[in-house]
Amino acid sequence: MIRLFVGLKIPDNIKKQVLDLDRNLAGALWKEPEKLHLTLAFVGNIEEPQAEELRQELQYVRFPAFHLSFKEIGYFTKGDLPHHLWVGVAENKALGELQEKISNIVKKLQLNFQDKFKFHPHMTLARLQGTPLSAVLDYVAKNNLFHSDEFLVDHFVLFISHARENGEGKYYTVAEEYPLSLV
């Protein structure tokens, strides 16, 4: 079995802007810079032949390159408790269209696509453990004017998610990169 997701790599200068945000939030487990990405489709655990079929199908995606930027801080909850802190994406029609194209390929291949939620483009900044809602709301209020520089999205990536041997977390490697056309 191999655990896959399709996403966007984030340029180092944009990661730096995000990492320069205030990190003073009790209970926040901040993402390492190498883990910062934007997920377009979480595929999950699949067999190697299915992974190869997905690799091949993604090569046929034709889509123009586009610009993207991050803005605003938010959070997801599990029940009533804040669970993840994220930075959102400035409104971008092209991103949604690319995500839909990729999701349709995954669905067509009848993979165990985790399509439970409406696509909400974001980059996870931290996992929250026991962080009071009031502290999260204060953090969001202090940092919500964040807006990154714009960057060019000229490819997307098929990532492999690996469990660390010591059982503490995951790391990601690139299985394949797929170029977008420059007009």
Question: Could you give the angle at which helices 48-58 and 93-108 cross, rounded to 10 degrees?
Answer: 140
Whether the Cβ atoms of residue 109 and residue 57 lie closer than 8 Å to each other: yes
- What local confidence, expressed as pLDDT, does residue 114 receive? 56
């032949």: which residue's tokens? 49
Residue ranges and CATH numbers for the domains of the chain are 2-179 (3.90.1140.10)
Strand stretches in 17-154, DSSP E: 28-30, 37-46, 66-68, 70-78, 81-89, 122-128, 151-153
Output the CA torsion 57→114→100→70 (10° steps).
Answer: -120
Instruction: Give the confidence band of 167 by pLDDT, cuts at 50, 70, 90.
Output: low
Q: Which two tokens stand for residue 182?
A: 């420059």
Q: Distance (Å, rounded) from C-alpha 50 to C-alpha 128?
A: 34
The pLDDT of residue 113 is 56
Question: Does 13 have pLDDT greater than 90?
Answer: yes
Per-residue pLDDT at 11 = 97
Strand-pairing partners, residue 70, are: 89
The tokens 């291949």 sit on which residue? 109
pTM over 0.85: yes
